[in-house]
Every structure is written in C-alpha cells, then in structure tokens.
Amino acid sequence: MIEFKNVSKVYGDGTKAVDDISFKINKGEFVVLIGTSGSGKTTTMRMINRMIESTSGEIIIDDKNIKDENAVNLRRRIGYVIQQTGLMPHMTVYENIVMVPKLLKWDKEKMRKSAESLLKKVDMSTEFLDRYPQELSGGQQQRIGVIRALAADQDIILMDEPFGALDPITREALQELVKNLQEEMGRTVVFVTHDMDEALKLADRIAIMSEGKIVQYDTPDNILANPANAFVESFLGEDRLQQTATMQTVDQVMIKKPITVKSEATLGEAIKQMQARRVDTLLVTDVEGHLQGVVDFESINRNRKKAATIQEIMTDVYYVKSGTLLGNVADRLLKREFKSIPIVDEEGKLQGLVTRTALVDIVYNTIWGDNEASESVPLEKMSLKDSE
Ligand code: ADP
Ligand code: MG
C-alpha cells in the first residue's frame, strides 16, 4: 500500500507543483492520475520512487516512510515506464529487459527465464531477445518497456503517459496488455495520463488533479455518476456524462422471471397460463430455456383447430443480448413500439424481459438528450425458419 500524507512539492523557483495531497493506493490497485498539463501528475508519481523528493509531508509504502529507505534501493524495487520507452539503444532487447535484475545480481538462468516468459506474455517471440530496440516497431519497443518494468518482480509499477506517442490501435492493444498483466500478476500500478478514455478503461480508481491538488479520487463509475465539481465535469465532458446513464446494461432493468411457455405445450396449456398470469403474450422456450419465439392470445385463438402445440404457431421474436448497454438499444426499442423485449445470454437462453414501460421510465427522462443515438448494437431478430 502507498499512502500520501499531506504531501507537497515546491520547486526551487517557488512553483508549488503539488499542494498538500493525501490519498491511499491499495495493494494490487490500478490507480490513474489524470489532469491537465502542469497539474502535478508527474511530480506526484516521481515522489513515489524519490526521483523527486517531496518538500513536506510523508509518503508511506508498506508501513515504511520512504525517506527512511535508501533511494537507490527504493527505485530498484519500483518499476518505471515512460513515454519514450527509455530503452538503451546500444543494448539488446534482452540486456534492456534484465537491466534491473542484473543490478539486483540475479543469476543468469533466472534472468533468462524471466525475460523469456515475459516476452511470451506480450506475444513476442524469444527471437527478439537478441535484437536492438531500433529494429523493433514503436509498439514492440513499448512492449519491451513494459516488460522491463515487470522484470525484476517489482510490486509497484509507475507509468508516465507510456502510450502517448503510439498510434490508436497499438495504444489500445498495449492498454489491454497492461491491464491484463496487472490483474494477472497482481501488481500495483500508478499510471499518469491526460486521456480520460484511457483512465476510464484502465483504472480501479482515478485521481483527478488540478493545480497540484487532487480534486476527486474515486472509481470511474462514481466519478461519472457524481463529478465532484465543475472542473471534473468539464474534464469528463458533456458527452460522457450523458452516456453514463446509458452505461447501464439491459440486465439492470430487466424483469428476471418473464412468463414463458414451453414450445411443446398445447394451445390449451398456453391459454391457461395466460389467464393465470393475466398476460396476452408468452415467450416460448425449449426445455433448456433457450428462447424460441413468442405467441399471443390472438394467434392461439385463431389456430385453435389447426394446431396442437405452441411450436407450430409461435412467431419470431426480436431479442437483445445480455450485457448490452441501454444506451445502445433504448432509442430503437422505443421507436419500434415493442411492448417488451426479451434478453438472452450467449447461448440464447432467456434471461429476462425489459418492458417498454420500464424503458420509458428509466431512459426517456433521465438520459435521452437530443442526440440521435448510437448505431453500434443491432437488434437481432431470431428467425427460426432461417436457421432450420
Ligand atoms: P504534469 O505531469 O501534470 O504535467 P508536472 O508534475 O510535470 O505536471 O508539473 C507540475 C508543475 O510543476 C508545473 O507547473 C511545472 O511547470 C512545474 N515543474 C515541474 N518540474 C519542475 C522543475 N524541475 N522546476 C520547476 N518547476 C517545475
Ligand atoms: Mg507529466
């Protein structure tokens, strides 16, 4: 655990870069420091490994004041990744990766093994070990930069805008990589960025900085739901705040046990079910609960003489996959004038039902601004006939 207690940093020229901040970072947590340029992010981060000495206050790591530790030792047990990768051009990839382990006097075998296994984790072949950084693409170089920070088994990794110089696709791949590595290896990561999308994607908690102070420190969800002040709001941006309500998934508003009938049920049984439950339509499932279609009272009545089981008269039904964001489907659901829409899981099993009324209540008033809504998630129409 890393704890800042009333920490300030005043530079020689009188600049108050960090102004009396107090916050805690738990073990294994991914914390993102975000803020405008000059807000004190880098200074805050570098005080953790004493690349910058604080002017006042205390920084405690695992119950020890870092002032009481040898600064060089401290630095070696904390990984550090910067934007320009910081790879040494005249050293091979291998030599770069094992720089710190070497300083820590690991034996050769252990270093080699560690380098190889880390390279695998970032989907690079061990052939790269003998190459030089300039023979690698920017994305590959940054992967090596990330690996190097992990190579000496450091519990804490500091990353200062590590992906700022990369193209969006490489950047996204590396964000995913870092998040996975962190979760898998249980490292504590402190990550600086000025990109809110990056912060929201990676962080367990985000510290929003402005003029040397932390103005809000909370989970992405809580920050989006309750921005602490106008600065945070403007930093998040209007669009994103509008999106948050739509970030609820259909699962959060669905009725969990919709009224159903099995496909092999008789029409009479279906009618009974309708009367008992006071509904005029029923979702149809197979014995395992896979959604098959829908029947309504009218069609049962019409086919009373012609059909024996529900299977013969049910019709296709539109459905939405579990996990779909309300914001991606709500407007179209409402426009289509469905009374309700079933929600199915990956295997097509019925999970619940979102009613139009629920949608109108939840969505319409709270979130539906003027913007023409999204197009990303298709409403899927199940066509039993097609699939047969
Ligand atoms: P950020 O990383 O959020 O952009 P920094 O922590 O680098 O911000 O800087 C915070 C403030 O401290 C800025 O006003 C910056 O100009 C100032 N600053 C940073 N480093 C120094 C330095 N070595 N000497 C004087 N002022 C500095
Ligand atoms: Mg900076």
pLDDT in tens, 363-380: 544 444 333 333 344 455
pLDDT at 382 over 60: no
Contact 41, 47 (CB under 8 A): no
pLDDT tens digits along 70-95 = 998 898 888 888 766 678 888 899 99
> Relative to the alpha carbon of 82, which ligand is closest?
2
Residue extents of the structural domains in the chain: 2-244, 251-360
Q: What angle do CA 142, 144, 149 make, to 5 degrees?
A: 100
Distances (CA, A) of 171 to 35, 156, 199, 309, 353: 19, 22, 13, 55, 38
pLDDT tens digits along 130-186 = 999 999 988 888 889 888 888 888 889 999 988 877 777 778 888 888 898 888 888
Residue 361: per-residue pLDDT: 64
**Domain 251-360 classified CATH 3.10.580.10?**
yes
Q: Whose CA is nearest to atom 7 of ligand 1?
A: 42
| Ligand 1 pocket, mutate which of 18, 42, 43, 210 (most atoms under 8 A from CB) | 43
Contact 32, 192 (CB under 8 A): yes
Q: How far is the CA of 161 from the centre of ligand 2 (A)?
A: 7
Residue from 85, 151, 71 nearest 112 by CA: 151
Quickly tell me which residue has 């619940």 as its tokens. 352
SS (H, E, C) 228-245: CCHHHHHHHCHHHHHHHH
Residue 375: per-residue pLDDT: 39
Question: When comparing pLDDT for 21 and 154, which is higher?
Answer: 21
Q: Work out the pLDDT band at 337, boundaries 50, 70, 90.
A: low
Question: Alpha carbon 99 to chain centroid distance?
Answer: 32
List 31's β-bridge partners, or say none.
Answer: 190, 205
Ligand 1 contact, 39 CB (< 6 A): yes
Ligand 1 contact, 15 CB (< 6 A): yes
Q: Which CATH superfamily is domain 2-244 in?
A: P-loop containing nucleotide triphosphate hydrolases (3.40.50.300)
Q: Whose CA is nearest to atom 13 of ligand 1?
A: 38
Integer Rg of the chain from CA? 28
